[in-house]
Structure 1
Amino acid sequence: MDRMGASCPSPSTHTDSVRVAIEALSVSTELVEEELKPYLDTVLTVAIERKKGIAEQMADSGILPVLAQILRRKSTLTTPTVRLVAELARYPPMKEQCFDTGIVSALVTLLLNQDQDLLLHVNQAIARICYESNLQQERFLKLGAVPRLASVLLLHSGNEALRSSCLLALCNLANMGEEDGSMLAWDEGAHFSEGERVFRGTSRYSFGFSSVVTMVRLKQTNGQYSVTVEVLQRCSTLLWGANNGRQAGHRSPNLTHLGSCPKLYKVIKCSVKNIPRYRSLRATVFHSLL
């Protein structure tokens, strides 16, 4: 590999520096950390800032195979590279290339790592690649992403950020999540049987009389874990009481507090007529051997 720092002219503008960095990474044949780090930092900064056209520029550069090669090695470049992949995974042109370039398999392998900061970015990358993509979801499932995500979740459930990213990845693998998870706040709920863990995601911002709740259940049976993802809807007692009042032919009482409607859970789980327009109501179960 040529010494990029010596052979490349000093860029005179920010645009030139980005172009030089992308070119340097895309033509690298040897992964020399000291040489690649400044270029990687430049590209990562631009990706985080979401500069217009950067995704298309990187998609055309052939940079992903090099990033996959970096991910397969243990080095100081691994974490910033995963962060870069997680940022690039927001864009369809990059997302579509992740499997053929080896990014997907490298991410699944990295789920065995013990570095919690690294795992956070790996989960974010997986969640974004899988978001609303049945093809990518199927690829991750075949590579065994679910049991590894379940293992990370159980080992690091006390790390709130890592727990949230892991749950989002599981939800997106079930095609029942969102792109970045910023709208959901997760907590661990009560469990009703031995070997079961229940996590509940509720919207940080609730409007009107109803809200959506995402439930992720992990249950151990005979050495295996089943991971169940459900999306439920709940409403206020005010709305529930008003509905009952109309059915009985009289006005409902004026309730001063709001709560959940447990009966509505069952109704919506069984009826497709009440599904919100923006989200299909399903329950997806993964059976995984840990």
Structure 2
Amino acid sequence: MDLLQLKYFQKVAELKHLTKAAEELHVTQPALSQTIAKLEKDLGVQLFNREKRQIRLNHYGEAFLKKVNVALNALEEGKREVKDLAGLQQGKVSLDTTFIPHFPEVINQFTKKYPNVNFDISQASSQKIKEDLLVNGKIDFCISCHPFDYKGFRNIPIQREDIVLVAPKTHRFANITTLELSEVSTEPFISFKKEQQFRETVEDLCLKAGFEPNIICETDDFQTINKLVASRLGVTLLPKSLVKKSKLTTVVNIKNPTAERVYYLSWRENRYLSLAAQKFRESLIEHYTQLSVGNEKH
């Protein structure tokens, strides 16, 4: 059993498809199949159930994958630690983030100070995918609107943002600044698709106000939502930072229920973090702390 076999096994388990795995690994499918077969021979059991073109882990494979993930993550962490001990100034920070106000500013400031640090940033569409990435050690940090309710994980709230109602300028709400959410119970809603995290937030807020939103149009793009509201198709709820200024729409604050979005920075406590990742975490928390203090003064 060697490291290459473990990496190949992990990739096949992830993609559940030999051809796709071979393409990502830049090897031929026969070579990949032979490597997996040799690994199974070394272990004395089959790790996959093969069904036509698909290949899925059996219970032996699922048990083995957990240990392989731990082993490969440990090796990756060891590599980063050795680089840090060697005094290398460069590094890599990996994170998955929900759209958060001012985040590009944090990245820009950090890269100016540490120009040799690289970022690997993803934006997973669901909380489940975010959790899998962090729990399995694929990323250093996660920024999301839900804290990770797992033992051994830290969650720090770094930013709060109001959720507002956006309506057409010709709407009956155009001349008011604040309302109770129950007042829009009969309105047609434009919303994100169910796969998007914010959709769940909208539905929860409406249920707290005593109604289910009448969603007549769904999209996965906030700019499209703003345009559809401007066209007088319906109203929407959005984080304030995603509202596009327009002469065709009006923004109304919500006083009941409390409508806000809390962003959390989460990480696994027992994961080795490179010096670059540690510095970035410090910079991120400091930036949003200062931003919060500045907002309170105003």
- TM-score, normalised relative to structure 1: 0.25
| Greater percentage in strand | 2
- Greater RCO (Cα-Cα under 8 Å, separation 6 or more): 2
| Greater percentage in helix | 1
